[in-house]
């Protein structure tokens, strides 16, 4: 079974903890790759748009007569070969969303967790419960945990004071266990997960 470093609420090391079965899955690189591409594609807005010759204003009349000028015949000055004309095969609004079966999505998430656990990048902390927002307290926890530049903090439920404390720490990204995803996991140098969030992840993926 993989293990993780255990920390107290102030960031001091407090032994180690065996991670649940959701963290010992076989790492499936093809599934991880597909899940990451799917998430990146789903983040695209897809609002890009260009005008075709039918949508560009003007060009309602024939620029010159059909025959006798010695030039090529033209029907509109908004044709693509004219300056100011429409665009051919340009981008139009679309959705980049990709489908993926639920079992594959869960396999990808287990693979990402297993990869981070194998690299020793997962640390477990007790549930954070701040009476008021304290950015310095949370920053001290990260320093003592030697979390590095890109830290993912996983909570079980919304905690307004913790979320406000994390807002001004640029290297910290906060996510709920229910919203845990492949992109955030793979981009994190350290994953700090609370014990209640760990139980939720095991219940969902175990």
What are the structural domains of the chain?
3-45+99-205 (3.40.1370.10), 50-90 (no CATH)
Structure confidence at residue 147 (pLDDT): 81
Contact 149/171 with Cβ under 8 angstroms? yes
CA max distance for the chain: 92
Structure confidence at residue 30 (pLDDT): 93
Structure confidence at residue 81 (pLDDT): 94
pLDDT by 10s per residue, the chain, length 206? 778 888 888 888 888 888 888 888 888 899 999 999 999 999 999 999 999 999 999 988 999 999 999 999 999 999 999 999 999 999 999 999 999 999 999 999 999 999 999 888 899 988 888 888 889 988 988 888 888 889 999 998 998 998 998 998 999 999 999 999 999 999 999 999 999 999 999 888 87
Nearest to 165 by CA among 174, 176, 154: 174
3-state SS, residue 194? strand
Task: Please tell me what DSSP assigns to residue 56.
Answer: S
């Amino acid at each position: 079974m993989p293990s993780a470093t255990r920390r107290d609420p102030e960031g001091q090391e407090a032994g180690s903890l065996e991670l649940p079965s959701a963290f010992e899955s076989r790492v499936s690189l093809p599934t991880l790759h597909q899940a990451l591409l799917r998430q990146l594609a789903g983040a695209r807005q897809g609002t890009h748009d260009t005008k075709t010759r039918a949508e560009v204003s003007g060009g309602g009349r024939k620029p010159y007569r059909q025959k006798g000028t010695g030039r090529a015949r033209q029907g509109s000055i908004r044709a693509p070969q004219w300056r100011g004309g429409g665009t051919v095969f340009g981008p139009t609004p679309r959705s980049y969303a990709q489908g993926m079966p639920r079992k594959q999505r869960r396999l990808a998430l287990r693979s990402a967790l297993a990869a981070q656990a194998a690299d020793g990048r997962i640390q477990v902390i007790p549930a954070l419960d701040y009476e008021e927002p304290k950015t310095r307290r949370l920053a001290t926890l990260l320093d003592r945990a030697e979390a590095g530049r890109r830290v993912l903090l996983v909570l079980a439920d919304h905690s307004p004071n913790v979320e406000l404390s994390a807002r001004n720490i640029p290297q910290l990204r906060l996510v709920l266990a229910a919203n845990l995803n492949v992109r955030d996991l793979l981009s994190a140098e350290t994953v700090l997960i609370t014990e209640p969030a760990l139980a939720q992840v095991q219940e969902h993926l175990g």
